[in-house]
Chain A
């Protein structure tokens, strides 16, 4: 059960970062981390659709490769894809019996110690633009209050993606989604480069990138772009 104080803290912090000049990837990453905190689940991930209708991994609360793979493989099968298709929450608290439903996803989830999933649509009017996914270590359902809170966080993610401007121009959604999805690739490229240049793990490389962005008030995506296109930027980064 989530306390009112905890809930208020999460929304205040989420709203604080939703300022004019915010970085969407950074924002969605934070939102995933908060969602994992309030639900007490192993991991929370966000998937967005590209214009062809393919679900693509966008952000996660974890750097655990097995869990990341569970998000990534859902472009072809899994609770996120089901949630996206039907436009409603998908809950499964017994993945041990879900092999018929998800022949690839379910066994891999169990191998990664994931026993329950809850998936929430990112809904924009009549359109689903992605899904938020929680992975739990026990075959246990989230309580009703928590489910409402997580859906609210999913709604905040949608608002962040479209921003206010979307209300005036439908094309903004395409522009924003494509930008977000490409930003994700930029950041992964930078993580790989930093990991090799500084001799740190890929997960730590993300922390290096984020710390540097915050200290210097840069947008995460802009910094990542600089890191892979400008050698001077790389040499200004330091391990934690």
Chain B
């Protein structure tokens, strides 16, 4: 049984989860976003003692495909959802909230096609966490279990943290250092101050780019100017316009 969530030290909790990803060997693979997401899937599966996990990328037009998984079986389960066109991952993305199905035999008729196919594949429980920051959404992290049962509070917190790190990985692109460690984030998922989100909306309009690109620009600007993200955000709110690509 895991220890209860300690509300007093969220940074430590976050760092512990990151360390489990750093601990997954790189095995000489290229350091790409996909490799990092694969390592997140492996770490999450191991840490949460589940059967497997996968990352599905989804856009407004629909599913784009399975980009990472902990095993071939996990990949098949992730693909299954897109074959039948429904399921917890798609619902999590569309409704912008986690969809936690502790027992597929009691999924309340939500996805009849998916449920019967998943049960034929011996899936008992599935937990889908959207990879999003506000209106920016990349897809979902799905976790699979062989036996029914809900995630406890610590497991839920852990899973949400893996999803946050997955989101950051998708935002930051090349996300690891030469020795395969995750790059310490400029704005960890713990920084949810309103000003940062407001500045994203402002940069989006200032530069005529998408909100997701605006988020990347803000982070890059903070990084190259060695300035905390919050202070860049406050400058933007006070009227500063980030340089566009051409005059950067």
Chain B residues lying within 8 Å of A191, measured Cβ to Cβ, are: 198, 201
In the assembled complex, how far is the CB of residue B216 from the closest CB belonging to chain A, in whole angstroms? 14
Chain A residues lying within 8 Å of B97, measured Cβ to Cβ, are: 175-176, 178-179, 182
Answer whether residue A188 sits at the interface, using C-beta atoms and an 8 A cutoff.
yes
Number of B residues with CB within 8 Å of any CB on chain A: 44
In the assembled complex, how far is the CB of residue A179 from the closest CB belonging to chain B, in whole angstroms? 4
Q: Chain A interface: which size bin?
A: 35 or more
0/1 interface trace, chain B 155-197, chain A, CB 8 Å (1 if under): 0110111000000000000000000000000000010111001
Known: A174-B98, A178-B97, A181-B192. A224 touches B198 (CB 8 A): no
Closest to A127 in B: B153
Answer whether residue A185 sits at the interface, using C-beta atoms and an 8 A cutoff.
yes
Chain A residues lying within 8 Å of B210, measured Cβ to Cβ, are: 229
Known: A175-B98, A229-B211. A182 touches B197 (CB 8 A): no
The docked-state distance in angstroms from the alpha carbon of A171 to that of B102 is 9
0/1 interface trace, chain B 1-22, chain A, CB 8 Å (1 if under): 0000111101001100000000
A188 contacts B134, CB within 8 Å?
A: yes
The docked-state distance in angstroms from the alpha carbon of A184 to that of B211 is 15
In the assembled complex, how far is the CB of residue A180 from the closest CB belonging to chain B, in whole angstroms? 9
- Residues of chain B touching chain A, judged by Cβ–Cβ distance below 8 Å, are 5-8, 10, 13-14, 60, 95-100, 102, 130, 132-135, 150-151, 153, 156-157, 159-161, 190, 192-194, 197-202, 204-206, 210-211, 237
16 chain-A/chain-B pairs, Cβ below 8 angstroms: A53-B7, A57-B194, A85-B7, A170-B150, A178-B97, A182-B130, A183-B96, A185-B197, A188-B201, A190-B135, A191-B198, A192-B197, A192-B199, A192-B205, A193-B204, A193-B211
- Residues of chain A touching chain B, judged by Cβ–Cβ distance below 8 Å, are 49-57, 68, 72, 75, 81, 84-85, 170-171, 174-176, 178-179, 181-186, 188-197, 202, 224-225, 228-229
